[in-house]
Structure 1
Amino acid sequence: SNMDFFFDDLPSTSQSTPKSGHEDSQLVITGIHLHSTCMHVCCSPNIDDISRRVQELVEKINDNRTSDQKVMDGFQEKLMQKVTEMCRQTKEHMYTVYEENSNEMQVKLQVLSEVLESCTKLNSELIEANQALASLRGGLSHPTSQCS
């Protein structure tokens, strides 16, 4: 068939020693071009159809990739918004807890201050009482002779 003839002929075209890789690629492209020309009558419509479908497929893949990128960007943006919102709420809660703790500590410090003040007064009273007892004991230990 023509196809067998073409494929038998193609290697000899490719095997000719080119001066550079660029020329080699030109020869292969020329061979494919000759093939499509020779087979134009029976295969060209199918080749064109396949080429068109491949092009559509490539475009569809590119569209899907663009769509995926948009979805991912949207997801990232929403995620960042959620994280930012969670951080804000956590900070607010943290500050609320700080305030509650501060109020509780203030009350306890006030009570502690009052207790310490009472302790100071009691300590002063104990010192006075101790001095009074010491003086009384001293008086009892050394009775005066004037009381006879």
Structure 2
Amino acid sequence: MGKSSAPSVTEVQERHPSLSIDDISRQVQELVEKINDSRTSDQKVMDSYQRELVEKMTGACQQMKEKMFMVYEENSIEMQVKLQELSQVLGSCTKLSDELLEARRALAGLREALAISETSEAQ
């Protein structure tokens, strides 16, 4: 990421052949410090980028959740209507079943009455 524009040790020696070991050490130390500063700066940029991404993703996820809950609410309303209709249909089915059972009993009683009357007439 960050590239240092500091001259290399070889370049320094070529320009100033009379530099002492202390001077070279100092320049190397400065170069290392610049590299470390550049790395620190790179890390700060990446940390900032990561924070921004997390914020954006958190916002996007929150929007998705809100839309999801809206769909849930719409579906719940539709399901409630359908369940109410089903309850009414099942109530009608129960009523019809009771009426059919009553009619069956009436027919069975009529059949018995006819059977009794036929046996009475046959005697």
TM-score normalised according to structure 2 size = 0.68
RMSD: 2.8
Structure 1: segments with no counterpart, 5+ residues: 1-40
Tell me, in whole angstroms, the C-alpha distance in 2 between the residues paired with 1:135 and 1:54: 116
Identity rate, percent: 11
Q: Which has the higher contact order (CA 8 A, sep 6+)?
A: 2
Shift of residue 114, structure 1, vs aligned partner: 0.7
Alignment of 1:117 onto 2:95: yes
- Name the structure 2 match of 1:85: 63
Shift of residue 51, structure 1, vs aligned partner: 4.4
Shift of residue 66, structure 1, vs aligned partner: 0.8
Structure 2: segments with no counterpart, 5+ residues: 1-16
Alignment of 1:104 onto 2:82: yes
Shift of residue 64, structure 1, vs aligned partner: 1.4
| Greater C-alpha Rg | 1
Residue correspondence of structure 1 range 64-83 to structure 2 within 5 A: 64-83=42-61
Q: Which amino acid aligns with 2:50?
A: M
Tell me, in whole angstroms, the C-alpha distance in 2 between the residues paired with 1:129 and 1:80: 71
Q: Which amino acid aligns with 2:64?
A: M
TM-score normalised according to structure 1 size = 0.58
Aligned residues: 106
Tell me, in whole angstroms, the C-alpha distance in 2 between the residues paired with 1:86 and 1:117: 46
